[in-house]
Amino acid sequence: MFLTALALTFLLFAIIAAFKMDSPLKGILFIITLAAVAGVLYLFILFPGYSGLAVSLILAAFIFRQNKR
């Protein structure tokens, strides 16, 4: 019950923060980013091996892309 209340409070604050962004597009991107982070955390809990591999591949792609510039 406590985790549910905590999650709903976090969602409420995230929605308030999204509405206070400079433009609606930034608010939508903020919510999408939060959903993606929550999805990755959920994958870590559900499939620890596969999600760790996926996150390491994503981080490696990000690092290598930064080095190309």
Q: Which residues of 24-52 are buried (b: 16+ CB within 10 A; e: fewer)?
A: eeebeebbeebeeeeeeeeeeeeeeeebe
> What is the separation, in whole angstroms, between the first and last Cα of the chain?
48
pLDDT tens by residue, 8-33: 898 899 999 999 999 989 999 999 98
Give the residue carrying structure tokens 């091996």: 49
pLDDT tens by residue, 28-68: 999 998 988 888 777 777 777 777 788 788 888 888 888 66
pLDDT at 31: 92
Whether the CB-CB separation of 15 and 9 falls below 8 Å is answered with: no
Q: Which helix (H) or strand (E) holds 18?
A: helix 2-19
Residue 69 above 60 pLDDT? no
